[in-house]
Each structure stands twice: as C-alpha cells, then as structure tokens.
Amino acid sequence: MATLLLTPPLAWFVLIYLASLVVLLITAFWETNSFTGNLVHTWTLSNLTEIVTTSAYLQVIVRTVGMAAAVTVVDLVIAIPFAYYLARVASRRTRTFLYVATLLPLWASYLAKVYAWQLVFTRDGVLNWSLAKVALGPLNLIDTNWAVFIAFCYIWLPYMIIPVYAALDRIPGSMIEASQDLGGRTWRTTRSVLLPLALPGIVAGSIFTFSLTLGDYITPELLGGTNSVFIGSVAYTSFLSNNVPLGAAMALVPVVIMVGYLLGARAIGAFEEL
Amino acid sequence: MESPGLRLALRIWVVLVLLFLFLPIALIVLYAFDPATIESWPIQGLTLHWFSVAWHDQQVRTAFLLSVKVALLATGVALVLGSAVAYALYKFTFFGRDGISFLLVLPIALPGIITGLALNSFFTFTNIELSLWTIVIGHATFCIVMVFNNVIARLRRMPRSLAEASADLGARGWQTQLYITLPSVATALISGALLAFALSFDEVIVTVFTSGAQNTLPIWIFGALRLGQQLPEVNAVVTIVICLTIIPVLLAARIAGASSVARTARATVTAA
C-alpha cells in the first residue's frame, strides 16, 4: 500500500525534479560550440573558472549576496514588531484580520507587485508627485538598484512576517512573565527571551527572503538599470543567448550559498526548536 | 509587558506596514481605470475602456486560456500526487520519511531560476520539445507541496479514534477511507487545489524556461512590461490576474481556515 501510494509522487520528484537538478549540475561542466551555439557534451571547468576569475561576475555575486542580505535585514526589522503585535497584543479578531491581510499581498500576482513599483517610481509617478507636494524631489529611483531593493523588500516581506509570527505565537506567555518577574525590562526580555525563542521563525523567514532574492531576475530586469545585474540576470541572459552552461554554472552559486546557509542555520541550532 | 507608549508605537507600526503592503496593489487597480494612454499620477478619470481592450485582444485571450489550462492540469496532478504522498507519510513510518517532506518543499525553497533552468536543461537533455506539457510539469512540481501541506496538516489533526470507531463498527479498510478519512480531508483537498491553481496561474519565473514559444498570461505581461508597450492594457490584465490569484486564496482561507493559506510557515517547519 505504502509503495503504491509513494511510487508515483516519488517517481515524479526523482525522475523529473532531481534529475533536472543533476542535469543542471552536469550542464555547468559542458560547453557550447561558439560557432553553432549547440551544446557540446565535453567536460570542461571553463564555465566555473570564467565565473571565479572574471571580476564582473564576482562583482555580480557580491552585489546579489549583499542585496539578499540587506533585504533580509530590512524585512526582519519591519516584520518583528508587526509579528509581535499580531501574536501577542492583538485581539483574536484583529489577529485573524491582520493575518489574512498579510497573506493576501503574498498571494497577489508577483508581476503585479513588481510592476506596482514601476508605477510608483516612474518619473511622473506617485512618488515624485508626492515629493513635489512637499516641495521636494524629483527623485528618480526608477532604473536604479534602490528601486530593485525597495521592491524586493516589499515582495518578500510577507514571507518573513508569517514564520516570525508563527514562532512568536508559540512562545508560552509564562516565559515572558518569568523574565519580567526576574526583573527583565522590555528591552532585556526582548533580547534575552523573545528573540532567541523566535530564532527558528526568523531563520525560516530569512531562508525565504534570502533565497528568493538570490534567484530573482525579473525584478532587476523591470526596475533596475545598467548597474542592476544580479546572479539571476546572468543566468537568464545566458539562457537567452543560448549559453546554458554558463547560466547553469552561475545558478550553482545560489545553490551553494543556500546549502551553506541551511547548514550554518543548523549549526547554530536554529532548527532544534522546530 | 507592553507600556501604553509601546503599544501605541506598535499600533502605528502595524498601520504603516499595512499601508506599505496594500497601497502599491491598490495603485495598479486604480491605474487600470485610468483613461490616459501614458502613465502619470494623478489619474485622469475613470473608465472601463482598457478592460474592453484587453477582452478583445486575441493575444491576451489565447494567453489567458493557456494559463487556465495549465493551472487546471497542474492542479490535477498536484491533487493526485500531493494527497497520495501526504496519506502515505501520515499512515506509514519508514526510513527517509523526513527526506521526502524536505524534497517536496525544495522547489519552492530554492530560487525559482534554479528550478527553471534545471527543467529547461532537462528537457533539452531528454529531447523533449517545450509545450503545454512542459509548463504543466514545471508547475505541478511546485504545486504538489501546496496540496501535501494542507492534507497532511489535516490528517495529523484528525483524531485516530475516528478511524478506529469505524473499524470497530465493522467497516472494511476501504469503507473507512471512503466514508471517514476522505470527508475529513475534503476541505483540505479543496483549499490545497485552490492554492495550487493560484500559484500556477501567476507563475512566471519558472515558466519563462519551460514554455517555448507559447505565452501564458504572466509571460505576456512580462513581455509587455519589458518592452514598455501596451501599458494601459497591462494595468487591466494585471488587475484581472490579481483578482484571479486572490479569490481562490480567500476561498481557501474561508473553507479551510486562514492558517491553511500560509505559503511559507508550515512548509519550512516541515522541511526543517
């Protein structure tokens, strides 16, 4: 019975998904014929060496990781007070309302969320109109990394709020009372009790904000400028220009980073509380 | 533990975050009704003209139909495979159980470009022509986890005594499955299906790599946005897509409870 139930889904995942990941890995060690553009199945390290020796590519990696880290930190700062209010202050009704209010933008069309910022940042957009009202601006953020950064923070914010809320919600009230009985003030209780106990949720949320930013090419493409080349953009452009092996090699970078991130999170014990 | 001042500050913060979350989406919806052909703020008036333009646009229609077809097929595959694996993990203990739930979450936890590029390389490698079916395969792969999450959460909450009572009353195994287990997980199946539909209908990052020459609706939108063409029409189409992703999610939340639509939390908890 178990075999009957498990064979089709596992076959799907192993024969298609895992097989695809393996092919991606292998493709990174192949090359394309520079005349025909066809994939040539000869083993080469040239894609990987090209990435680690070309300063432009290294810059792209540093830029992407920096962006992912910045987005994660900002989302965390926005999410923690919000999730705290949701989990520990709001009444039951308000909590349900706020919870659904967080989830709706998470599900609302991804492209819509990117595009919305184009409408905000464009030269005659809402931002410059509002700035003009208070005699400021214009501030032309469109086609800059600032636009990309703000849009990333916006798009992935609900992915941070939900797990942080779930973690804060699980902390027994008695823990906080105990901290207060022992003389812990708000800040001390937050730092020494709440945050450590919420760590699994924070890590879970950051896995999403970090990973989703690492692999996005659409937001930079639509909102960024000439300087907005990210790991995803390189992989996407290589794919468009028929140089899949280089794209595959580039795509391995986020895989390595994410695996390192997950192992690091495990090493500091972030998963033990889950 | 919160002083009144802190409470007030938190409340203000919550309102600001809500505005941040909703204003940009509201902005698109407003622009969709703007009669102007260039996009500048404030909007010039209100009209349904661009919805009519979108409705009569053959490209948009074809793309819309393809998106619906793909979403229905992917949801179907996800329903069968997702519920099968959820039931198996609930019912049986075996070596590698945790590995399976980790594997299911991987497609939504790894950056989309990896899944997309990987599937594309796979189809090239196996000489499979890109078609409707390759899009469905890609979508189903990350939709399975939606059904799986919902069904397994429901199964775990179901008291074991129900199935035991059924057996005590003389029901055979299949009768218990059909009359007890299936009705108990029915709403979880429905909400999982709705979420899978919404996820598939809106997907673009992976679809770019698996669609070949055909356009799904998000691909059509992405193309128009890249070229900066037909933007007023895009506003109308995007508004429709927002509705078509949000309505299934609201329905799912209504049917199976708000926590069933948390795309990330439970998934990561299961994974970790």
At residue B272 the predicted structure's pLDDT band, cuts being 50, 70 and 90, is very low
Closest to A261 in 3D by CA, of A193, A198, A215: A215
Q: How far apart are CA B195 and CA B146, in angstroms?
A: 7
The β-bridge partners of A40 are: A31
How far is CA A171 from its chain centroid? 26
Q: Which of B121, B203, B242 to mutate to test the interface with A (most CBs of A within 10 A)?
A: B121
- Check CB contact of B12 with chain A, cutoff 8 Å: no
Give the pLDDT confidence score for residue A270 in this predicted structure: 56
For residue B38, with 0-12 CB atoms within 10 Å meaning exposed, 13-18 middle and 19 or more buried, which class applies? exposed
How far is Cα A45 from Cα A35, in angstroms, rounded to an integer? 20
Average pLDDT (A156-166) is 90
- Asked if A24's CB is within 8 angstroms of B121's CB, the reply is yes
Q: What is the pLDDT of residue B270?
A: 41
Mean pLDDT of B150-164: 84
- In order, the DSSP letters of A239-265 are HHTT-HHHHHHHHHHHHHHHHHHHHHH
Inter-chain touch B25–A105, beta carbons under 8 Å: yes
Check residues B268 and B236 and name the one with the higher pLDDT. B236
Flag the least confident range among A189-198, B74-83, B213-222: A189-198
**pTM given for the model:** 0.89
B83 vs B104, residue with greater confidence: B83
**At residue A3, does pLDDT exceed 90?**
no
pLDDT of residue B117: 92
Instruction: Say whether pLDDT at B38 is over 50.
Output: yes
Q: What is the dihedral of CA A137, A140, A141, A142, to 10 degrees?
A: 150
Query: Other C-beta atoms within 10 Å of B178: how many?
Result: 12
Helix, strand, or coil (residue B108): helix
Reply yes or no on whether the pLDDT at B37 is more than 80: no
- pLDDT digits 0-9 by tens, A49-59: 888 888 889 99
Tokens of B131: 């078609």
* Contact between A236 and B113 using a beta-carbon 8 Å cutoff: yes
pLDDT band at B102 (very low <50, low <70, confident <90, very high): confident
The two structure tokens encoding residue A17: 């998904």
Cα–Cα dist A74/A212, whole Å: 15
Phi, psi of A105 (to 5 degrees): -65, -30
pLDDT band, residue A66 (cuts 50/70/90) = very high
What number of C-beta contacts closer than 8 Å exist between A and B?
Answer: 278
Tokens 């193309």 belong to residue: B223
Which of A194-208, A248-262, B98-112 has the weakest average pLDDT? B98-112
